[in-house]
Amino acid sequence: MRKIAVITSKGGTGKTTTSINFGHAAAMMGKRTLMVDCDAQGSLSLAFGLNGVQGLSDLLLTDRVDIYNVRQNLFLVGSGKSDIYLVERYLVQQADLDYPLARALDRFTGVDIAILDCSPSINIVNSNVLNYVDSVLIPVSMDYFAMEGVALTLKIVDEIVNDSKRNIQILGILPTFFDSRTKISKTILGEVKEKYGDKVFESMIRINTQIKESQLYHKTIFEYAPYSYGAYDYYRFAKEALQKLSG
Protein backbone atom coordinates (compact mmCIF):
# COMPACT_ATOMS: atom_id res chain seq x y z
CA MET A 1 0.00 0.00 0.00
CA ARG A 2 1.28 3.48 -0.88
CA LYS A 3 0.36 6.50 1.20
CA ILE A 4 0.58 9.90 -0.42
CA ALA A 5 0.13 13.35 1.12
CA VAL A 6 -1.04 16.06 -1.26
CA ILE A 7 0.56 18.92 0.56
CA THR A 8 2.07 22.38 0.33
CA SER A 9 2.06 25.34 2.66
CA LYS A 10 0.53 27.65 0.05
CA GLY A 11 -3.28 27.82 -0.24
CA GLY A 12 -5.27 27.34 -3.41
CA THR A 13 -2.69 25.47 -5.48
CA GLY A 14 -5.02 22.63 -6.46
CA LYS A 15 -4.41 20.13 -3.64
CA THR A 16 -8.04 19.17 -3.22
CA THR A 17 -8.70 19.16 -6.97
CA THR A 18 -5.69 16.90 -7.43
CA SER A 19 -6.85 14.59 -4.63
CA ILE A 20 -10.30 14.27 -6.23
CA ASN A 21 -9.14 13.61 -9.76
CA PHE A 22 -6.00 11.62 -9.04
CA GLY A 23 -8.15 9.54 -6.69
CA HIS A 24 -10.79 8.86 -9.32
CA ALA A 25 -8.25 8.24 -12.08
CA ALA A 26 -6.33 5.75 -9.93
CA ALA A 27 -9.60 4.01 -9.06
CA MET A 28 -10.53 3.80 -12.75
CA MET A 29 -7.10 2.35 -13.47
CA GLY A 30 -7.96 -0.49 -11.09
CA LYS A 31 -6.29 0.67 -7.89
CA ARG A 32 -8.34 0.42 -4.72
CA THR A 33 -7.99 4.00 -3.52
CA LEU A 34 -8.78 5.69 -0.22
CA MET A 35 -8.98 9.47 0.00
CA VAL A 36 -8.72 11.11 3.42
CA ASP A 37 -9.81 14.70 3.98
CA CYS A 38 -7.23 16.10 6.42
CA ASP A 39 -8.40 19.69 6.04
CA ALA A 40 -11.02 21.10 8.42
CA GLN A 41 -12.40 23.15 5.50
CA GLY A 42 -13.78 19.79 4.34
CA SER A 43 -13.59 20.64 0.62
CA LEU A 44 -12.74 17.09 -0.44
CA SER A 45 -15.74 15.78 1.52
CA LEU A 46 -17.99 18.45 -0.01
CA ALA A 47 -16.77 17.62 -3.50
CA PHE A 48 -18.33 14.18 -3.05
CA GLY A 49 -21.45 15.55 -1.40
CA LEU A 50 -20.48 14.47 2.11
CA ASN A 51 -21.35 16.94 4.80
CA GLY A 52 -21.44 16.56 8.57
CA VAL A 53 -20.50 12.89 8.61
CA GLN A 54 -18.11 11.13 10.96
CA GLY A 55 -14.62 11.45 9.60
CA LEU A 56 -11.00 11.96 10.49
CA SER A 57 -11.52 14.33 13.44
CA ASP A 58 -13.99 11.88 15.01
CA LEU A 59 -11.64 8.99 14.36
CA LEU A 60 -8.92 10.82 16.30
CA LEU A 61 -11.16 11.92 19.17
CA THR A 62 -13.66 9.08 19.53
CA ASP A 63 -12.20 6.25 17.48
CA ARG A 64 -15.36 6.21 15.35
CA VAL A 65 -15.31 6.78 11.63
CA ASP A 66 -17.47 6.14 8.56
CA ILE A 67 -15.89 5.15 5.28
CA TYR A 68 -17.84 5.99 2.15
CA ASN A 69 -17.60 4.01 -1.04
CA VAL A 70 -18.01 7.01 -3.36
CA ARG A 71 -17.21 5.34 -6.70
CA GLN A 72 -16.09 1.92 -7.85
CA ASN A 73 -12.72 1.24 -6.15
CA LEU A 74 -12.82 4.66 -4.51
CA PHE A 75 -13.34 5.28 -0.79
CA LEU A 76 -13.49 8.46 1.26
CA VAL A 77 -12.97 9.37 4.88
CA GLY A 78 -14.39 12.86 5.42
CA SER A 79 -12.89 15.60 7.58
CA GLY A 80 -15.37 14.87 10.37
CA LYS A 81 -17.88 16.51 12.65
CA SER A 82 -15.60 17.16 15.62
CA ASP A 83 -14.14 20.60 15.91
CA ILE A 84 -10.60 20.90 14.55
CA TYR A 85 -9.58 23.01 17.56
CA LEU A 86 -10.51 20.11 19.82
CA VAL A 87 -8.43 17.84 17.63
CA GLU A 88 -5.43 20.17 17.80
CA ARG A 89 -5.86 20.44 21.56
CA TYR A 90 -6.15 16.68 21.88
CA LEU A 91 -3.04 16.14 19.80
CA VAL A 92 -0.84 18.54 21.78
CA GLN A 93 -1.83 16.73 24.98
CA GLN A 94 -0.54 13.40 23.67
CA ALA A 95 2.95 12.31 24.63
CA ASP A 96 3.61 11.22 21.05
CA LEU A 97 1.79 14.19 19.56
CA ASP A 98 3.04 13.58 16.02
CA TYR A 99 1.75 10.01 15.69
CA PRO A 100 -1.94 9.59 16.67
CA LEU A 101 -3.06 9.97 13.06
CA ALA A 102 -0.71 7.24 11.87
CA ARG A 103 -1.99 4.96 14.63
CA ALA A 104 -5.59 5.74 13.73
CA LEU A 105 -5.13 5.22 9.99
CA ASP A 106 -2.96 2.11 10.25
CA ARG A 107 -6.16 0.03 10.36
CA PHE A 108 -6.90 0.85 6.71
CA THR A 109 -4.88 -1.81 4.99
CA GLY A 110 -7.30 -3.04 2.34
CA VAL A 111 -6.44 -0.47 -0.32
CA ASP A 112 -3.59 -0.01 -2.80
CA ILE A 113 -3.27 3.76 -2.43
CA ALA A 114 -4.20 6.29 0.24
CA ILE A 115 -4.35 9.95 -0.80
CA LEU A 116 -4.36 12.52 2.02
CA ASP A 117 -5.62 15.96 1.11
CA CYS A 118 -3.94 18.46 3.45
CA SER A 119 -4.68 21.99 4.59
CA PRO A 120 -2.37 24.79 3.44
CA SER A 121 -0.72 25.36 6.78
CA ILE A 122 2.03 24.19 9.02
CA ASN A 123 0.13 22.57 11.83
CA ILE A 124 0.11 19.53 14.01
CA VAL A 125 -2.38 17.64 11.84
CA ASN A 126 -0.05 18.02 8.86
CA SER A 127 2.96 16.87 10.84
CA ASN A 128 0.86 13.85 11.82
CA VAL A 129 0.11 13.27 8.14
CA LEU A 130 3.83 13.41 7.30
CA ASN A 131 4.49 10.82 9.96
CA TYR A 132 2.02 8.47 8.27
CA VAL A 133 2.71 8.79 4.54
CA ASP A 134 5.57 7.36 2.52
CA SER A 135 5.47 10.01 -0.18
CA VAL A 136 4.42 13.57 -0.90
CA LEU A 137 2.88 15.15 -3.95
CA ILE A 138 3.32 18.92 -4.09
CA PRO A 139 1.08 20.94 -6.42
CA VAL A 140 2.58 24.26 -7.45
CA SER A 141 0.41 26.87 -9.14
CA MET A 142 2.14 29.22 -11.53
CA ASP A 143 2.93 32.05 -9.14
CA TYR A 144 5.78 33.20 -6.96
CA PHE A 145 4.22 32.41 -3.56
CA ALA A 146 3.37 28.87 -4.61
CA MET A 147 6.97 28.35 -5.67
CA GLU A 148 8.14 29.54 -2.25
CA GLY A 149 5.56 27.14 -0.76
CA VAL A 150 7.36 24.23 -2.47
CA ALA A 151 10.68 25.20 -0.87
CA LEU A 152 9.11 25.48 2.59
CA THR A 153 7.26 22.18 2.19
CA LEU A 154 10.42 20.36 1.13
CA LYS A 155 12.22 21.82 4.14
CA ILE A 156 9.51 20.59 6.53
CA VAL A 157 9.56 17.13 4.92
CA ASP A 158 13.33 17.08 5.39
CA GLU A 159 13.01 17.96 9.07
CA ILE A 160 10.43 15.22 9.64
CA VAL A 161 12.62 12.70 7.84
CA ASN A 162 15.58 13.68 10.02
CA ASP A 163 13.57 13.52 13.25
CA SER A 164 11.70 10.32 12.55
CA LYS A 165 14.41 8.45 10.64
CA ARG A 166 11.73 7.35 8.18
CA ASN A 167 12.10 7.91 4.51
CA ILE A 168 9.58 10.04 2.63
CA GLN A 169 9.73 9.95 -1.15
CA ILE A 170 9.13 13.16 -3.06
CA LEU A 171 6.69 11.58 -5.49
CA GLY A 172 6.82 14.82 -7.40
CA ILE A 173 6.02 18.47 -7.86
CA LEU A 174 2.97 18.97 -10.04
CA PRO A 175 2.61 22.24 -11.97
CA THR A 176 -1.03 23.39 -11.79
CA PHE A 177 -3.06 26.33 -13.14
CA PHE A 178 -0.76 26.48 -16.16
CA ASP A 179 -1.91 29.12 -18.64
CA SER A 180 0.03 29.06 -21.89
CA ARG A 181 -1.21 32.56 -22.78
CA THR A 182 0.69 34.14 -19.92
CA LYS A 183 4.36 34.85 -19.61
CA ILE A 184 4.28 34.31 -15.84
CA SER A 185 3.20 30.66 -16.29
CA LYS A 186 6.14 29.97 -18.58
CA THR A 187 8.56 31.84 -16.31
CA ILE A 188 7.46 30.03 -13.15
CA LEU A 189 7.39 26.64 -14.87
CA GLY A 190 10.92 27.27 -16.14
CA GLU A 191 12.15 28.23 -12.69
CA VAL A 192 10.46 25.27 -11.00
CA LYS A 193 12.04 22.88 -13.52
CA GLU A 194 15.43 24.50 -13.18
CA LYS A 195 15.33 24.37 -9.40
CA TYR A 196 13.80 20.93 -8.88
CA GLY A 197 14.78 19.04 -12.04
CA ASP A 198 13.40 15.53 -12.27
CA LYS A 199 11.35 15.97 -9.11
CA VAL A 200 8.90 17.87 -11.36
CA PHE A 201 6.30 15.74 -13.12
CA GLU A 202 6.37 15.84 -16.91
CA SER A 203 2.59 16.14 -16.82
CA MET A 204 1.04 19.41 -15.80
CA ILE A 205 -2.46 20.66 -15.16
CA ARG A 206 -3.70 23.53 -17.27
CA ILE A 207 -6.29 26.06 -16.18
CA ASN A 208 -9.66 24.68 -17.19
CA THR A 209 -12.94 26.21 -16.03
CA GLN A 210 -14.70 22.86 -16.36
CA ILE A 211 -12.64 21.60 -13.42
CA LYS A 212 -14.19 24.30 -11.23
CA GLU A 213 -17.66 23.56 -12.61
CA SER A 214 -17.33 19.82 -11.99
CA GLN A 215 -16.96 20.45 -8.26
CA LEU A 216 -20.20 22.42 -8.12
CA TYR A 217 -22.00 19.34 -9.47
CA HIS A 218 -20.18 16.92 -7.12
CA LYS A 219 -18.52 15.21 -10.06
CA THR A 220 -14.97 14.43 -10.94
CA ILE A 221 -13.62 15.93 -14.17
CA PHE A 222 -13.87 12.48 -15.81
CA GLU A 223 -17.62 12.40 -15.16
CA TYR A 224 -18.37 16.05 -15.83
CA ALA A 225 -16.28 16.68 -18.93
CA PRO A 226 -14.45 13.53 -20.04
CA TYR A 227 -13.19 15.19 -23.24
CA SER A 228 -11.96 18.37 -21.58
CA TYR A 229 -8.27 19.02 -21.30
CA GLY A 230 -8.71 18.99 -17.54
CA ALA A 231 -9.67 15.32 -17.86
CA TYR A 232 -6.79 14.72 -20.28
CA ASP A 233 -4.27 16.41 -17.96
CA TYR A 234 -5.37 14.59 -14.82
CA TYR A 235 -5.50 11.22 -16.61
CA ARG A 236 -2.02 11.69 -18.02
CA PHE A 237 -0.74 12.84 -14.66
CA ALA A 238 -2.31 9.85 -12.85
CA LYS A 239 -0.63 7.44 -15.27
CA GLU A 240 2.74 9.08 -14.69
CA ALA A 241 2.26 9.10 -10.91
CA LEU A 242 1.22 5.42 -10.78
CA GLN A 243 4.24 4.54 -12.90
CA LYS A 244 6.51 6.41 -10.48
CA LEU A 245 4.85 4.70 -7.52
CA SER A 246 5.44 1.25 -8.95
CA GLY A 247 8.95 2.01 -10.21
User: Interface with ligand ATP by CB under 6 A: which residues?
Assistant: 11-17, 39, 43, 120, 176-177, 205, 207-209, 211-212, 215, 230
Nearer to Mg ion, 21 or 43 (CB): 43
Report what 33 binds from ligand ATP, Mg ion, none; CB cut-off 5-8 Å by kind.
none
Residue 18 touches Mg ion, criterion: CB under 5 A: no
Q: Which is nearer to ligand ATP, 112 or 143 (CB)?
A: 143
Can residue 43 be called a binding residue for Mg ion (CB under 5 A)?
yes
Judged by beta carbon, residue 41 or residue 54, the one nearer ligand ATP is: 41
Decide whether 115 or 165 has the Cβ nearer to Mg ion. 115
Q: Please check whether residue 213 is in contact with residue 169, taking contact to mean a CB–CB distance below 8 angstroms.
A: no
Name the residue nearer to ligand ATP (CB basis): 15 or 24: 15
Q: Are 111 and 34 in contact (CB under 8 A)?
A: yes
**How many residues touch Mg ion (CB under 5 A)?**
3
Does residue 10 interact with Mg ion by CB under 5 A?
A: no
Q: How far is the CB of 37 from Mg ion (least distance, A)?
A: 9
The residue from 8, 9, 13, 16 that contacts Mg ion (CB under 5 A) is 16
Q: Distances in Å between the alpha carbon of 158 and those of 9, 10, 51, 193?
A: 14, 17, 35, 20
Q: Does 15 bind Mg ion (CB under 5 A)?
A: yes
Question: Residue 14 binds which entry of ligand ATP, Mg ion, none, with Cβ cut-offs from 5 to 8 Å by kind?
Answer: ligand ATP
Between 46 and 53, whose beta carbon lies closer to Mg ion?
Answer: 46
212 binds, among ligand ATP, Mg ion, none (CB under 5 to 8 A by kind): ligand ATP
User: What is the closest distance, in whole angstroms, from the C-beta atom of residue 78 to Mg ion in the complex?
Assistant: 13
CA distance 159 to 123: 14
- Contacts with Mg ion, residue ranges (CB under 5 A): 15-16, 43
